[in-house]
Structure 1
Amino acid sequence: MIVDSTALTEQAVRDILISSFQSAGQRCSALRMLYVQEEARDRLLNMLYGAMDALTIGDPWNTDTDVSPVIDTDAQTEISDYVAAQEKAGKVLKKLPAPETGTFVTPAVIDVGGIEDLEREIFGPVLHVATFKARDIDKVVDDINGKGYGLTFGLHTRIDDRVQQIVERIHVGNVYVNRNQIGAIVGSQPFGGEGLSGTGPKAGGPLYVNRFRRTAEAEHVEAPEGKAVSLSDLQTALDELDARNWAVRPNRIEVLRKALSGKGGVIRKALAETAALDMTPQTLPGPTGESNRLAMYPKGVVLCLGPTLDIAIAQAAQALGTGCAAVVVAPGAEQAVKPLIDAGVPVAGLEGSVSAETLSEVKGIAAVAAAGNSDWTRELRIALAKRDGAIIPLETQTISPDRYVVERHLCIDTTAAGGNASLLATAE
């Protein structure tokens, strides 16, 4: 969560408290890392400490309890040892006494330089706090993205432009503005992350139920023929692609249909299915004073491996149609993608195939498309699983354009300006 100097309010403190300590911090969406603008740090922390002193730690059957026990003794020991180590290092800013009986852990606030100081998630009532300068807010967001996790993110600000600036930059599945960041409600806030926090689709979102359907596998499941492309050639092709302008073009399908004119079969079907995928942002229902918005975004650069040329082009058509860039690797790929390149489409073609070893090392891919269920796709899946960093999905369905998008939900408490609606429109 990021809190700037315009959002120094009791509501912000309450939302920090709820997000960090409710359910003893044992929620996947709980607040672990808080960034506070330096001008607001001292006052906000003083308010937070006072609010923490009012917390009731005890029996979860008691309706007055704010912080309950953690799940078991192993969790209790791990969290308590971590807090003790941080206290020894002089990093604990505030902690509360915990009951002596039961698997309770003391709620604690720990001082850190930034999210890069967090080596692992502490799944309990532990809040880490860092300070930032206003001019460095983009760097803060980049540091958060760089950690690779992307489930929930909170923002407290009264500047509309800042909301837009951060929402467009942050790579997380659920963003909460001027409210707490836990307790997603199905139907209002479809829930799910990206990167190391999941590959989608969102629970409760429009793409969710379709994943439970049985679909036909590709007829061609044998490994593609051709000499394996080198890691350097593949990396160069990936690095040279830039889909930023392509992603915002409203006529992507029209451009693809013209460039692939005359193609039938699986390519034509891929274009038709992609054209039918509605990527229009959706306004979802919610209580009065809350805005809920679900949008789809291109997943990133997709590596299309076929195994046949037609299937590889069909995979690329779906990826490109949703705004992604694509690298097609298959016999005949270089000539096949030339009409697309001439049309200004962010695509590259390489002759041959991609080995599992190369797949485990190449950088800059968001997904790999390889149709069917075979020993070949199994080797690719194992190679992807060995990679460090974000989870890279292997898309084995021949036609499934929704596999090339990420869903992001934005929830805004529109009443958070304290009754003064003009504050939400204040320019920085």
Structure 2
Amino acid sequence: MTAATPSVPPASDRRVSVRIGSISESATLAVDAKAKALKAAGRPVIGFGAGEPDFPTPGYIVDAAAEACRNPKYHRYTPAGGLPELKAAIAAKTLRDSGYEVDASQVLVTNGGKQAIYEAFAAVLDPGDEVIVPAPYWTTYPESIRLAGGRPVEVVADETTGYRVTVEQLEAARTEHTKVLLFVSPSNPTGAVYSREDTEAIGRWAVEHGLWVLTDEIYEHLVYGDATFSSLPALVPELRDKCIVVNGVAKTYAMTGWRVGWIVGPKDVVKAATNLQSHATSNVNNVAQVAALAAVTGDLDAVAEMRTAFDRRRQTIVRMLNEIDGVVCPLPEGAFYVYPSVKALLGKEIRGKRPATSVELAALILDEAEVAVVPGEAFGTPGYLRLSYALGDEDLVEGVSRLQKLLGEATD
């Protein structure tokens, strides 16, 4: 006898739609919110959960926004697709930073990177279309795909390959329903950066099979050591008619709260996504758009300073984490995250408990060490933790020292 298939309640009994009710809360934002709530209650919590720079937005960007507040021009509706001058500046910035030449008509300004990702998927996916998603993945990607009617197909890489998938793995996951490849380098949550050669090989594989590619380039300026950022459509020009680039000012200019992202892609797709946005949110906040204009037309001195600090912190956190028995932490080459394996700690006794999953381990760490981390389940790979090193040096050392003390107590 087979188990009965769960039935969907009648429409009159459903308070929340099945489509929206199936979406999970953002795990990273949930961890950050809980850490902030505990700190507000007086507990000395150190949070490694949030993916945002701890630096203030550069002053010249803030000044541009303040001036825009006083300009009646920006007190009114503006084009849904973005301020024309900002779209032109994004096109120029894309050429400057990526070597990818596009026209302003190929740009849509969005309310942050998340809206850009959803609208890009919504513009090209039909129900049943598959998207190959390398894992570990940022928690929002599969939810955006599902919300757009698509189906995420995970391809898992682990620490033995630096969390980078191969063309052979991608080919094994491809089916007649595959429409899009998601490509992210540098990566959230692992900090993995694909070499120029591997990036080009993946792009040419996509061209060979007529696939679309959505590439998220928001960490383009945060690479370290000998690693270099490579823009997929710049390396593989044949892909440009089926490539959508997502980017924004959040990470490069410490502007996570300003909520300005964008899509760069073929004109028909950008027009379709613009039509969607015209009904969903209309134009992005004008003051934030003016701030973004100052950011993308300015120099990169601020990001250079942040990158120096992040580089120092990544080396410190990797060294300290690898001093813990049972923790294996590769050195990330980009972004501002580490993604250590904690599989060897699962099932061990720590202060009277035996966490069987990384979710349970993260909860134990928060309760016992007052340190907030995000479990690997949020990124599609149980047995890992994500820690952002975008926090002050003193807090970083103190937080990892607490982890060393707590996890050092693990016994069989």
Structure with greater strand percent:
1
Higher helix share: 2
Give the TM-score normalised by structure 2. Answer: 0.24
Q: Which has the larger radius of gyration?
A: 1
Which gives a bigger RCO, structure 1 or 2 (Cα 8 Å, sep 6+)? 2
